[in-house]
Amino acid sequence: MATTSIFPGESPDIQTRLALADDALILGHRTSEWTGHAPLLEEELALANIALDLIGQARALYQAAGELTGHSEDELAFLRDPAAFRNALIVELPNGDFAFTIARLFFVSVASDRRWRAGFDDPALSAVAEKAMKETAYHIRHAAEWLIRLGDGTGESHRRAQEAVDALWPYTGEITDNRAAWLQAVAPVLIRATLQQPKDSWMQSGGRDGRHTEHLGHLLAEMQILPRTFPGARW
Amino acid sequence: MPEPTTTLWEVFIRARNGLSHRHAGSVHAADAEMALQAARDVYTRRGEGLSIWVVPSAAIVASDPSDKDSLFEPTGSKIYRHPTFYEVPEDVGNM
């Protein structure tokens, strides 16, 4: 039995809240996929903690979006089709190797940090930002320190970190409105990591308009199958 | 699995102001900063801590368990070292 999909409204306020919420949920889901696969126990817990932080942020943001659309946080997470998601493409990409996961977490967290600290006119979002910025500050610290060690580590870890940075770079245009500020925060870490900063050229986009990679559909299929198959299922 | 060369660190957490750091466990990490983060992520997930120390396990000098008799046994017969021979006045309250 399939559950009918919902289509929240197109107003800018709703779209803004959903974009923030979807970024947090999808990156949180991707990060949670490391559970049981992390390179060492300590990192397993670190990634699980970060995933939980992000999903917690997503819940608060979906509640804020729900105030405008009348939907519950579960409905917004589980009953929308890929085209109704507003997350940036970078968060839906598969985890790749550990270097890719860490480089992405770093790039996205720096963008989130800028956004939380820039503040919002919308009081519902300001309340979320207040709490989220402390969590995000730790995500940056964790990801940056790992990126520095991977880049400035062994020949193999350097190669993998550089490949991750190069592969992710075209997806970083969508996560920030102020690229100069984002680059200013990212560049010193890349230098310490002995990694080459790629040249800015053509950037991927489309996530904010609901045009996603094929990866989001697979992610949502796995994430949504239970609530869609058994509506209202409880633990 | 961590590499066999990954350093082991002992973790000490201070729960609240005024209490001392207590041994919480150990973590594997390549260096001090990562050990601090690992300790935070493994041992303070439920609001346990306000301060963390990490110490390389190799830096700890431990007593030899076989010295137990000579180090600790002799104190067993010296009950006068316990402060139980004094009357504590009521006004003092909890000591």
Residue ranges per domain, chain B? 7-64
What pTM value is reported for the model?
0.91
Give the span between the Cα atoms of B90 and B88, in whole angstroms. 6
Instruction: For residue range A3-30, list pLDDT tens digits in order.
Output: 789 989 889 999 999 999 999 999 999 9
Q: How many domains does chain A have?
A: 1
Strands B22-29 and B51-56, sheet pairing: unpaired
pLDDT at B3 over 90: no
What is the rounded distance in angstroms from the CA atom of residue B60 to the CA atom of residue A209? 57
CATH topology of domain B7-64: Ubiquitin-like (UB roll) (3.10.20)
Closest CB from A39, A46, A149 relative to B38 = A46
Residue of B41, B46, B54 for testing the chain A interface, max A β-carbons within 10 Å: B41
Q: Is pLDDT above 90 for A199?
A: yes
A206: helix, strand or coil: coil
Does the residue A235 lie in any domain?
no
Task: Supply φ then ψ for residue A205, to 5 degrees.
Answer: -155, 175
Residue A5 lies in a domain: no
Of A39, A45, A149, which has the smallest distance from its Cβ to B41's Cβ?
A45
Separation of alpha carbons A42 and B30, rounded Å: 11
Q: How far is A3 from chain B (nearest CA, A)?
A: 36
Position with higher pLDDT, A230 vs B88: A230
Mean pLDDT (whole number) for B58-67: 94
Provide the phi-psi class of A70: left if phi over 0, else alpha when psi is between -120 and 50, else beta: left
Q: Which of A42, A147, A189 is most worth mutating to test chain B (most B CB atoms within 10 A of its CB)? A: A42
**B50 touching A (Cβ < 8 Å):** no
| pLDDT tens by residue, A135-188 | 999 999 999 999 999 999 999 999 999 999 999 999 999 999 999 999 999 999
pLDDT tops 50 at residue A58: yes
CATH number at residue A214: 1.20.1260.10
**Percent of chain A residues past pLDDT 70, beyond the cut:** 99
Domain that holds residue A142: 12-198+208-229
Which pLDDT does position A1 carry in this prediction?
A: 44
Instruction: Give the residue-averaged pLDDT of B78-95.
Output: 79
Which residue in chain A has the smallest CA separation from B40? Answer: A46
Instruction: Determine contact: A148 vs chain B, CB below 8 A.
Output: no
Judged by a CB distance cut-off of 8 A, whether residue A80 touches chain B is: no
